[in-house]
Chain A
Amino acid sequence: MNIEVINLNKDFKDFKLDNINIQIPKGKIVGLIGENGAGKTTLLKCILGAMYPTSGTIKLFDSSNKSILKDDIGVVFDDSFIIETYTCIDINLIMKNIYKNWDSKAFYKYLKEYKINPRKELRKLSTGMKKKVEIITALSHHPKILILDEPTSGLDPIIRSEILDIFKSFVDNGKNSILLSTHITSDLEHIADDVIFISNGKIIFDKPLSIIKNNYIVLELTKEEFNNFNKEDIVRYKENRIDYQVLIMEKDMKNDYKKYIKNITTLDDIMLLYIRGSICAD
């Protein structure tokens, strides 16, 4: 196991991460989804040691000594990087004196590949270019784990696709893994093996993407259909202006759902219904 989080709690005045248990196996890409303020970044910061958990254990590569093992972790934060008056040449100079395995050749190769001028200050680069520099920096010391917080935000679809290809090839050796927190759930649908859904500090589910895609179904029902629907089968529902959106799990179904309109179920739909939807009262 590359990362193991056991019974993690982190208390704030008005929020808490509540008994988080997750595992990031070797060779897997694990997506972390949830609304803003759900606790995703807090969880990532606890794993990286930027925040202290109130209780619980975090193991990296089956060990608890983080500072030695951080050489093997590449990081992209949503809102934290190097001072933006620095250039990529400066970043190379800094990082080769921080990471034992820093690979200047690989760093400059990536820069060339993505057409980034190494002499240009980061603040003069576009948002997408800056994000690429962050990803390149994370990859250039040959880590075994990538911990990524919104790594593809601000990137156009073509670059996003290229970046996702890099992530896929990163785990191809079967030893590396990625923990990826993102709002762009369509990215996860392309590359994730497992998805962890976190809401209000609690894990709602932690399942392989294939099981989520095959089991969760979103139906659109008229008011009459909704009233006649077996409420025991409904995981969550949301009343819209003219219809109902209903989340069901196929394996638990007692009704014949095929007669109802079925949309292609996305992670966004599932997330939205879990967060904004209601549970049927008995």
Chain B
Amino acid sequence: MRGLIIKDLLFLKSSWKNYLVIFIGSLLISIALGNYTLAVCILPLMILSSGINTFQTDEFYNTESYTLSYPLSRNKIVLSKYIFTLILLLISIFIGLIIYYLILYIGNPSIKALSHDVIKELLMLQAAALLVDSFFYPVIYKFGCEKSRLVLMSIVMGILGIGSIISVYMDFSKTSINIDAIVNYIQTNGLFILSWAVIICITLSYLLSILFYKKKDY
């Protein structure tokens, strides 16, 4: 299993030029805007999204059948992908913190726009990205990368459609639901809620991925 994690980590190595370009771009935009949130958050977010990219690369180079010839059970092959994603999470947060402190202390000590909220935003973004991953992975195991895009687009369109219908036919001012209170609660406890949501979703996602992967022919 360690070999598969190393295989996916090596994929990061091959993408370092892309990451450098993204970081420089986000830094330049941040300087222009005078807000460094983008510079701190975008590169970690891109690194975390590499988890999905490894699926695409495996599919592009058609490595799946070969992977199944390794002396590893299908459960371990799936587990390696989730462990890799968690390693990506650690790497991306670490890099985000390095960028934060570099900007704060070395780059320009007079920057005021960089508050501690940036770290909170970074963590919330990473948690949200993990939620997306936890949704994507089982769908990819079930349908493959190409089809999963269509499936996910259909789901998103469906959710947006239902949301639109609700917003048209439901007048929230007449209900007992206090939207402001909900928004306030999320703003205050967002990271806590997201952390629990991530733990639950990743666990469910892993179990679903195993279920799908175990049945699939390559």
A residues adjacent to B (C-beta < 8 A):
45, 48-52, 67-71, 73, 75, 77, 79-86, 90, 93-100, 147
Q: Mark B49-77, 1 if CB is under 8 A from A, else 0.
A: 00000000110011111101111110000
Q: Mark B186-216, 1 if CB is under 8 A from A, else 0.
A: 0000000000000000000000000000010
Tell me the nearest residue of chain B to A96, going by C-beta.
B3
Contacts of A67 in B (CB 8 A): 71-73
B2 an interface residue at 8 Å Cβ cutoff? yes
B218 an interface residue at 8 Å Cβ cutoff? yes
Q: Contact between B6 and A77 (Cβ–Cβ < 8 Å)?
A: no
Contacts of B215 in A (CB 8 A): 52
Tell me the nearest residue of chain A to B65, going by C-beta.
A80
Q: Contact between B14 and A85 (Cβ–Cβ < 8 Å)?
A: yes
B7 an interface residue at 8 Å Cβ cutoff? yes
Report Cα–Cα, A79/B66, bound state, in Å. 9
**Neighbour of B68 across the interface among A48, A95, A147, CB < 8 A:** A48
Task: Report A202 CB to chain B, min CB distance, Å.
Answer: 20
Q: Contact between B3 and A73 (Cβ–Cβ < 8 Å)?
A: no
Contacts of A84 in B (CB 8 A): 61
Report Cα–Cα, A98/B65, bound state, in Å. 15
Q: Contact between A49 and B68 (Cβ–Cβ < 8 Å)?
A: yes
B11 an interface residue at 8 Å Cβ cutoff? yes
Task: Report B138 CB to chain A, min CB distance, Å.
Answer: 19
Contacts of A94 in B (CB 8 A): 3-4, 6-7, 10
Which applies to chain A's interface (DSSP): helix, strand, loop or mixed? loop
B171 an interface residue at 8 Å Cβ cutoff? no
Enumerate 16 A-B pairs (CB-CB under 8 Å) in ascending A order: A50-B64, A50-B218, A51-B218, A67-B71, A68-B71, A70-B70, A73-B69, A79-B62, A82-B61, A82-B63, A83-B61, A85-B14, A85-B57, A94-B4, A99-B71, A147-B69
Q: Contact between A50 and B72 (Cβ–Cβ < 8 Å)?
A: no
Report Cα–Cα, A90/B65, bound state, in Å. 19
Given contacts A51-B218, A80-B65, contact A71 B71 (CB under 8 A): yes
Contacts of A82 in B (CB 8 A): 7, 61, 63, 66
Q: Contact between A81 and B63 (Cβ–Cβ < 8 Å)?
A: yes
Task: Report B209 CB to chain A, min CB distance, Å.
Answer: 17
Q: Which of B55-103 contact A (CB under 8 A)?
A: 57-58, 61-66, 68-73
Task: Report A104 CB to chain B, min CB distance, Å.
Answer: 13
**Neighbour of A97 across the interface among B6, B217, B218, CB < 8 A:** B6
Q: Give the B interface residue count (CB, 8 A).
A: 25
Q: Contact between A93 and B10 (Cβ–Cβ < 8 Å)?
A: yes
Chain A CB within 10 A, most for which of B4, B10, B14: B10
Report Cα–Cα, A18/B108, bound state, in Å. 72
Chain B CB within 10 A, most for which of A69, A83, A84, A100: A83
Task: Report A5 CB to chain B, min CB distance, Å.
Answer: 16
Given contacts A50-B217, A51-B218, contact A98 B63 (CB under 8 A): no
Report Cα–Cα, A49/B61, bound state, in Å. 20
Q: Contact between A98 and B4 (Cβ–Cβ < 8 Å)?
A: yes
Q: Which of B1-44 contact A (CB under 8 A)?
A: 2-4, 6-7, 10-11, 14
Report Cα–Cα, A69/B73, bound state, in Å. 11
Contacts of A52 in B (CB 8 A): 215, 217
15 more A-B residue pairs beyond the given contacts A50-B64, A81-B63, with a C-beta to C-beta distance below 8 A: A50-B65, A50-B217, A50-B218, A67-B72, A68-B71, A70-B70, A71-B71, A80-B63, A81-B61, A83-B63, A86-B7, A86-B10, A93-B6, A97-B6, A99-B71
Contacts of A85 in B (CB 8 A): 11, 14, 57
Tell me the nearest residue of chain A to B10, going by C-beta.
A90
**Neighbour of B65 across the interface among A45, A71, A73, A99, CB < 8 A:** A45
Closest 10 CB pairs of A and B: A98-B3, A97-B3, A70-B71, A50-B68, A80-B65, A75-B69, A80-B66, A51-B217, A71-B71, A97-B2
Contacts of A49 in B (CB 8 A): 68-69
Chain A CB within 10 A, most for which of B58, B69, B72: B69
Report Cα–Cα, A71/B58, bound state, in Å. 22
Contacts of B71 in A (CB 8 A): 67-71, 98-100
Task: Report B68 CB to chain A, min CB distance, Å.
Answer: 4
Contacts of B66 in A (CB 8 A): 75, 77, 80-82
Given contacts A51-B217, A52-B217, A86-B10, contact A98 B61 (CB under 8 A): no
Q: Mark B165-190, 1 if CB is under 8 A from A, else 0.
A: 00000000000000000000000000
Contacts of A97 in B (CB 8 A): 2-3, 6
